[in-house]
Structures are given as structure tokens and as C-alpha cells.
Chain A
Amino acid sequence: MKRTVPLVIAAFTGFVLIVSYFIPYAQSWGEEAMIWFDILAAVAFVLGGGNLLKTHLQKISNRRAGWGFSLITISAFLITLGIGLAKMGVHPAEKFPEFAWSGDYLSQSSGFGWIYDFVYLPLAATMFSLLAFFIASAAFRAFRAKNTEAMILLGTAFIVLFGRTHAGIYVSQPVVDWLTAISGAEAGSLAGLRLDRITSTITSVFILAGNRAITIGIALGIVSLSLKVLLGVDRSYLGSEE
């Protein structure tokens, strides 16, 4: 029963979404199903918040390694939640001036907006900026010329990286001119050998072809897995009956 009911709900919703994709009349059914999911996800926020508190309070209580971070996490969570729910610093909306809480919680004057703009965003940007260093370290490892394949990868990466800069054009243009002069070819006929053109060919032919092959595989994989889930062939995501 514990697995059958979710399976029936999943299968029913899945088939409704499929039908709504092909039959215009049923489009709203699909939208309705997605609204139900949004409601469930919103309710689950409470579950997530509760779990966050439980996990970190346990950590603090047991003085486990890194408990100080848990303390900061819980403090930040409660402060943000309190400021957001109390709508601290929010001015009443123009439409309802008599209601103190009618303003937007993300307005510039709000405490929540302040936390978002001046605490959350800079922290998120800091994490994101780490990516630049990680790209460098990953590229260093990936482009080591260990074997033939790695050398081809390195060469292609060099062309694409260099071809995307102005320097690529400045450096390759004289070479193309020289080749045109010594081969007696028509002016401009060898322009395809310029690094920016080679880069464009690599991205629009080789990379695109590879990408499409991967996309077709992904599409087929999604169809197959969806079907298995809808028909109950794969129930591993549903947990146990007991």
C-alpha cells in the first residue's frame, strides 16, 4: 500500500502531463498538476527547515567537529526567517497605507531585502568566483599531453581558446596571407584557416554534432526511464513496503 498509492499518483499525474502535451483541451490539466506539485514543495519547506534545525542542534549539542559552523547556520537561519516573517523595515504598500505589513518583503527598505542584497548575494558571488580557480586547476589536469587523445584535446582547446581572442586573428592573419602568397591562391580563399574561423568550424560542426548525439541519447534515456517509472517497472525511488 505504501508503495502502491504513490505509484498510482505518479502514474496518473505522468499520463495527465503526457495527454496535456498533445491535446490542447487538456493543457490546463497539466498546469493544474504542476500547481499541486508547487503546493507540495512549499509545504515541504517546513520539513526542510525542521530538518535543518534538528541536524545542526544535534551537532551543537554533541559538540561534534564543526559545531561552530552549525551555530552560525542556525543563527543566520533564525535571524533571516524572523526578519522576513516580521517584514521588518517594510513600508506599507501604496494601495493599502493603513496596513503596516502590506509592503513587499523584498523592497529596498526591508531588512530581508538588505540581507539578500548585502549578505546573501556577495556570499553567493564569492562561491561562484571560486569557479575561475577551479577551471584553471581542472584545465591543467585535463590538458596534460599524456597520450594521443589528450594531445588532440590540448590542441583543440588551444585553437578554441586562442581563436576566441583578438590575438588569434592578429597572429593567424599574416600566416594566412603568407600561405596565400606562396601558393598563388585567390585572395581570401584561404581565410578559413584563420584561427577564429577554425574555432567557429570546431564549435559549429564537431562540438555541435557531439552535443546532438548526447542530446538524442538523453532524450531516449528520459523516455525509457519515465516509462519505467510510470509503469512501475522501476520502483527503487519509492522506498519499501514496510
Chain B
Amino acid sequence: MTDRVSWNLPVLAIVIALAGLVPQPARAESQAESESANTESNDSPRPPMGVTAIDRPDDAGDGIIVKWTLSSDDFKNVPEGKTRKVVRYEILRKTIHSDKEDEFTLVGEATFQKTSFVDADCERNAIYLYQVVAVEHVDSKSEAVQAAVPITAILQYWDTRRTWFLVMLVLVCGSVILFIQLARGGMELKVRKIAGLEAVEEAVGRATEMGRSCLFIPGILDINDMQTVAGITVLSRVAALAAEYDAMLEVPTSRSLVMTTARETVQAAFLGAGRPDAYNEDNIYYLTDEQFGYVAGVTGTMVRDKPAACFYMGAFFAESLILAETGNSIGAIQIAGTAMPSQLPFFVAACDYTLIGEEFFAASAYLSGEKHQLGSLKGQDVGKLIGGLLIVVGCLAATFASLANVDDTLMHSVVSFLTDNVLGNKGFLP
């Protein structure tokens, strides 16, 4: 398909360009006449200029970018009492087939002062020709200005904007796998103590001693969110402890799939602890998908049952503080873990222990105590090291760039390359 287009395209382009060349003087003439008429009668706006169309880079062959220069009637500011001569631009397109040509049809509009439009509804390898018209209103439109050559939307096999992100991903994943393998091979790993996770056993033990339940809340998002998965992995460790200590574990969920997963996880944990008889699936139940309905249900349970330990592990939003403060008011020992930076201060203020960001994702590995799981934490450290080094290099480059001559383009390019690509949303922080 691509091969057929590749030789068809230049031929068609030449044909169209030649066809366009012949009537050019006449058209230019008529355009000049039209312009003078416009100036005199002030009827329709003057057309945009330099219309070009290019294939949108890094896409699946479904986008074309149309660009133009503003109509000379398209002013940024309009004097008071006057109306805009150019209100919008209409973008027209026709498909060129080898045997026939379609009519131009409207594919989109751009407001005044805009000089480009992305036609995201293209078919891969189809040949399109574009026109742009400046519009005042329905009855007042400029002449249509056509792109010089037709264009084809081509499939790109690689999204070049994400290359640096891939490099980072490979480095981090590679180091995680490497350290897992090293740990499996018997390498000794030292992992710092995380107070919040050390307190999990204490919390479950306390609940057992007091004869009260443990409440585990796996956030309010579904199982496709990584925080919920992380919460469920922590749940398996908490459930194992609860089974061992013979403590009651209650898990209200806000998603049906999370409920099903949590049941499987807790059942497996009770089985692993040799207490399958102590598992009660009714303790893991669904409340509602609605955020505040869920909050009402959980806080009601807290106030009525007064659990001795509350665990908040997952994705939380505005409900974080309501839950944590209610837990605090009933005197429960509270451990929270989330990757929502905006909710962390609330948990820090209201809970006894808070797992901040990466600690939350490390919880499962930490609690399991398995060597190969702990190896993954060391792999994360390599990622942090790379990030730290890049930040230091970036800071130094930015400092030199500001201290040195402002025209020191090398330093400025280093800084912009680091911030835009390696450290920016195309690299370390996608």
C-alpha cells in the first residue's frame, strides 16, 4: 500500500502543480481584482496566505497539520465600535483518488489569529488537498486559498517524543530486574526501616488485644489504578497478620472489582497463615461507587464499630481527611499510604504513620521480607540516583548559563534539552 502511494504521490503532485500553474495568472489577476473590490466595497475579507499542509509527526497516520499566514484583515485588536473582519478560518479538504477527485468539504474551523489547524480525521496513505478560507460571516467569505501540493498522512512507527522516556524506563526497569536477580543469587541487601510499616504489626496486635476490628480502606479508584493494586498488595500482608493474630479484618470497597480482588487476596492470606476457617468473605463488602456515599458508609462503620486500627492504602481525594479525622476521633491507630501528593498533608496531620509516595509502593516488598522483592527497592534507588544526577547537572548548567554571557547558547541548549527532554514530560516525568 505504502509503495503504491510513494510513486503515485509525486506524479499527482506534479499534475496538480502543473494544473495550478496554468491558470495562475488569471487567478492572481482575479484575486487582485477581488482585493481591490474588497477594499472599495469592504465586502468580504481578504484571504489568508501561504497555505501549507504537513504530515503530523509521531502519529498513527491519522493527522495532517494545515498552516497559513493570517489574512491581512485579521487584526489582533479591533478598534472600539468596529467589528472583526475575520471571525474564523474554514479549512476545506478534498481527497484525491487515482481515478477521480472529490469535492472540497469542510473539515474544521479555527478562530481568528490562529495560523494552524490539525485535521485529526485523516485516513492513512490517502492523498488530501487543503484550502483555507477567511470568514466574516456566512455570506462574507474570502477566496479559498489552496495548498501548493497535496499531502498524505503517513504512519510513523515510533513516537520520537517518547524516546528519552523509554531510555529512562529501560534503565530503571533494567536495574530493578538486575537487583532482583542479584538478590535471588544471595546478595545481601540493606533496606532502611520504614516506621509506618514497622507499625503495621503493632496496629494489628493492638486491635487483637482490644478485641476490636482492623479496618482496611483500599482507596476509591478501581483495580486498573496502580495505587489500588499497591493497596491490595499491602492488604495481603495485613490480612496475613490478622489471620496470625486472630484479629477481625473489615474491608469496605467502593468498586466491585476491588471487592472481588480483595476477597481473593484476603482468602489467600488466611490460607497461607493456616487459618482458612477464620476467613469470612462478608467482611469484605461493596458500599457504593459514589465518593461521598462511600465516605458516609465508612465513617458510619467507624463510629459504630470503633475499629482499633485503620489502614488507608490507595488513591484518595477529598475524602482522605474526613476518613482520617473520624478515625482519629475514635482513637484508632492509623496508618495511611497514598501517591496523591495533595492528600499527603491531610494524612500526615491526622494519622499516626504515613507512607509517602514511594514508601507506599515499597510496602508490599518490605512487609513480605522476601529477598527478591527487596531487590526491586534497590533497583528504584538506581532510578533515584539517575534522577538526582540529572537534577544536579541541570542545576549546574542553569547556574553557569545565568552567570555566563546571555548569548552562551551551548549552556542554554544544555539546560533546555535537560528540562524539556530528559527531565521534562518527555523523559523522567512523563
| B contact residues around A130 at 8 Å (CB) | 322
Q: Does A226 have its Cβ within 8 Å of any Cβ on chain B?
A: yes
Q: Check B233 against A28 for contact (C-beta < 8 Å).
A: no
Q: Which residue in chain B gives the minimum CB-CB distance to A228?
A: B376
Q: What residues of B have a CB within 8 angstroms of the CB of A37 in the complex?
A: 224
Residue contact B292 to A123, C-beta cutoff 8 Å: yes
Closest to A33 in B: B224
Q: Are B300 and A69 within 8 A (Cβ)? A: yes
A238 within 8 A of B: yes
A45 touches B226 (CB 8 A): no
Give B169-222 interface residues, CB cut-off 8 Å to A: 169, 172-173, 176-177, 180, 222
Q: Which segment, of A104-112, A138-146, A175-183, faces chain B? A: A138-146
Inter-chain contact B268/A240, CB cutoff 8 Å: yes
- The CA-CA distance from A227 to B259 in the complex, in Å, is 23
- Taking the closest CB of chain B, its distance from the CB of A226, in whole angstroms, is 6
With the chains together, A25 CA to B263 CA distance in Å? 38
B224 proximity list for chain A (CB < 8 A): 34, 37
B300 close to A223 (CB less than 8 A)? no
Residues of B close to A233: CB separation below 8 A: 180, 372-373, 376
Instruction: Decide if B292 touches A127 in the complex (CB within 8 Å).
Output: yes
Does A184 have its Cβ within 8 Å of any Cβ on chain B? no
A137 touches B (CB below 8 Å): yes
Chain B facing A: main interface SS: helix
Q: For residue A137, give the distance in angstroms from its CB to the closest CB of chain B.
A: 6
Task: Check if A214 sits within 8 Å of B344, measured CB to CB.
Answer: yes
- Select B157's contact among A23, A34, A58, A137, beta carbons within 8 Å: A23
| CB neighbours of B256 from chain A (8 A) | 41, 44-45, 47-48, 51
Q: A127–B429 contact, CB under 8 A?
A: no
**Pick the contact of A24 from B155, B322, B384 — CB < 8 Å?**
B155
- Please measure, in the bound complex, the distance between the C-alpha atom of A197 and the C-alpha atom of B377, giving whole angstroms: 40
A200 interface residue (CB < 8 Å to B) = no
Query: Are A138 and B349 neighbours in the complex by a CB distance under 8 Å?
Result: yes
Complex: chain B residue closest to A216, CB-CB: B387
Interface string of A106-133 (1 = CB under 8 A from B): 0000000000000010011001101100
Q: B379 and A224: CB pair below 8 A?
A: yes
Binary interface profile of A, 46-62, with partner B (CB < 8 Å = 1, else 0)? 01100110010010000
Residue pair A51, B259 in contact (C-beta under 8 Å):
yes
Chain A contact patch, size range: 35 or more
The listed residue (B233, B267, B358) touching A218 by CB distance below 8 A is B358
Structural contact, A134 and B322, CB atoms closer than 8 A:
yes
**Across the two chains, which residue of chain B brings its CB closest to A236?**
B236
Knowing A220-B384, A221-B360, say if A58 contacts B282 (CB, 8 Å).
Answer: yes
A25 pairs with B257, CB closer than 8 A: no
- Whether B125 is near chain A, meaning CB under 8 Å from some CB there, is no
Whether B229 and A214, one on each chain, are in contact in the complex, defined by CB atoms closer than 8 angstroms, is no
Minimum C-beta distance from A71 to chain B (A): 14
Asked if A236 and B233 make an inter-chain contact with CB atoms under 8 angstroms apart, the answer reads yes
Cβ of A234 to closest chain B Cβ, rounded Å = 6
Residue among A47, A128, A138 with the most chain B CB within 10 A?
A: A138
Quick check: is B295 within 8 A (CB to CB) of the other chain? yes
Are B373 and A22 in contact (CB-based, < 8 A)?
no
Chain B residues whose C-beta falls within 8 Å of the C-beta of A203 in the assembled complex? none
Of residues 143 through 160 on chain B, the ones whose CB sits less than 8 Å from some CB of chain A are 155-159
Q: Would you call A239 an interface residue if the criterion is a C-beta within 8 Å of the partner chain's C-beta atoms?
A: yes
CB-contacts of A195-213 with B (<8 A): 211-212
Interchain CB contact under 8 A, A216 and B341: no
B318 to A128, Cβ gap below 8 A?
yes
Give residues of chain B (38-57) contacting chain A, Cβ–Cβ below 8 Å: none
A25 to B61 Cα, complex, angstroms: 8
Contacts of A236 in B (CB 8 A): 232-233, 236-237, 265, 268-269, 364, 368
Most chain B beta carbons < 10 A, residue from A28, A52, A55, A219: A219
Q: Does B350 lie at the interface of the complex (its beta carbon under 8 Å from any beta carbon of A)?
A: yes
Bound: A47/B341 CA distance, A: 32
Range class of the B interface residue count: 35 or more
Contact of B229 among A21, A24, A48, A225 (CB under 8 A): A225
Q: What secondary structure prevails in chain A residues at the interface with B?
A: helix
Chain A residues, Cβ within 8 Å of B82: none
Q: B362 contacts which chain A residues (CB < 8 A)? A: 221, 224
Residues of A within 8 A of B58 (CB): 24
Tell whether, in the assembled complex, residue B380 and residue A65 are in contact, meaning their CB atoms are under 8 Å apart: no
B260 at the interface (CB under 8 A from A): yes
Q: Are B169 and A221 closer than 8 Å at their CB atoms? A: no
List the B residue with the shortest CB-CB distance to A125: B292
- Residues on the B chain within 8 Å of A226, using CB: 226
CB-contact partner of B264 in A134, A219, A227, A238, under 8 A: A238
In the complex, the answer to whether A223 meets B222 with C-beta atoms within 8 Å is no
Which segment of B94-102, B283-291, B411-419 sits at the interface? Answer: B283-291
A215 at the interface (CB under 8 A from B): yes
B429 & A219 in contact (Cβ 8 Å cutoff): yes
The distance in angstroms between the C-alpha atoms of A225 and B285, with both chains bound, is 26
Give A27 to B430 CA distance when docked, in angstroms. Answer: 17
Choose one: B158, B236, B257, B291; the contact of A44 (CB below 8 Å): B257
Contact indicator B357/A221 (Cβ below 8 Å): yes
Are B296 and A65 neighbours in the complex by a CB distance under 8 Å?
A: no
Asked if A237 and B233 make an inter-chain contact with CB atoms under 8 angstroms apart, the answer reads yes
CA distance A222 to B245 in the complex (A): 31
Q: Is the CB of A237 within 8 A of B361?
A: no
B172 touches A234 (CB 8 A): no
**B365 & A40 in contact (Cβ 8 Å cutoff):** no
A240 to B169, CA, bound (A): 31
Residue A1, interface by CB 8 Å: no
Q: Please, which residue of chain A has its CB at the minimum distance from the CB of B63?
A: A24
Asked whether, in the complex, the Cβ of B429 is within 8 Å of the Cβ of A216, the reply is yes
List residues of B whose CB falls within 8 A of some A CB: 58-61, 155-159, 162, 166, 169, 172-173, 176-177, 180, 222, 224, 226, 229-230, 232-233, 236-237, 255-257, 259-261, 263-265, 267-269, 271-272, 282, 285-293, 295-296, 300, 304, 318, 321-322, 324-325, 339, 341, 344, 346, 348-350, 356-362, 364-365, 368, 372-373, 376-377, 379-380, 383-384, 387, 428-430
- The 8 A-B residue pairs whose C-beta atoms are closest, nearest first, are A239-B264, A221-B361, A48-B256, A217-B358, A240-B268, A44-B256, A127-B292, A236-B236
